[in-house]
Amino acid sequence: MGKLSIFVFTTLNGYFEGSNKGDISWHRHAEEEGEFSAEGLMTGNTLLFGRVTYEMMAGYWPSERALQDNPVVAAGMNNADKIVFSRTLKKAEWNNTRLVGDLIGEIKTLKRESGKGLTVLGSGSIVTQLAEEGLIDEYQIMVDPVALGSGALLFKGLKQPLGLKLTTTRVFKSGSVLLCYEPAL
């Protein structure tokens, strides 16, 4: 059975993007965080995105700038199997990417049949939908030491409380803190 994890970075007050769609300029991504990202990509997990996050990632990681700035992470992102969930996107051109419309049905099938790990990167609305269905096995939330006045909140629209149990933490030199949780039973 495949394990579904999510990885998202947020501000201290819970925003995963700024007031402009896709704005993550506030995120502190230093060398240590880059090494952490590279380690995560070595797991061979299938990467999962919503349309907005996919378009942002596909617009950056295959670029010459990404290949120069962070070649290890760029190679991992470009070579990974990827699924983008969207009802409006017509095609997904980033290599090793397939387009799927049915989020919940596809995740249930993948968890049951693939045996491969699955990781949602960013994609706040997808995280909320999967959390409500009880499909997430691990929550990896990197909290940056910054607060924003507005933006997109993680877990926005959650209809019921989400009980979590802290499993591990990691403090980065930048001041960011990684909090790992599993669902509380």
Q: What are the tens digits of pLDDT across the range 17-31? A: 888 877 787 887 777
Whole-number Å distance between alpha carbons of 129 and 104 = 8
Please say whether the beta carbons of 81 and 121 come within 8 A: no
Point out the least confidently predicted range of 11-15, 27-31, 68-72, 104-108: 27-31
Please say whether the beta carbons of 89 and 116 come within 8 A: no
For the domain that residue 135 is a member of, what is the CATH number?
Answer: 3.40.430.10
Query: What is the number of other CB atoms lying within 10 angstroms of the CB of residue 142?
Result: 21
Give the total number of structural domains in the chain. 1
Q: Measuring CA to CA, how many Å separate 78 from each of 57, 95, 112?
A: 10, 7, 26
- At 70 the pLDDT is 86
Q: Kindly give, in sequence order, each residue whose CB lies less than 8 Å from that of residue 34, ignoring residues fewer than 6 positions away.
A: 70, 72, 73
pTM of the predicted model as reported, rounded to 2 decimal places: 0.91
Whole-number Å distance between alpha carbons of 90 and 105 = 20
- At 95 the pLDDT is 92
Range of the domain at 9: 4-183
Whole-number Å distance between alpha carbons of 55 and 31 = 24
Mean pLDDT, residues 73-96: 93
Decide the pairing of beta strands 97-100 and 152-153.
unpaired
Whole-number Å distance between alpha carbons of 32 and 2 = 28
Nearest to 178 by CA among 9, 30, 4, 2: 9
Q: How confident is the model at residue 107 (pLDDT cuts 50, 70, 90)?
A: very high
Residue 168, phi then psi, degrees to nearest 5: -150, 160
Query: Is 8 or 34 the better-scoring residue by pLDDT?
Result: 8
Whole-number Å distance between alpha carbons of 101 and 105 = 9
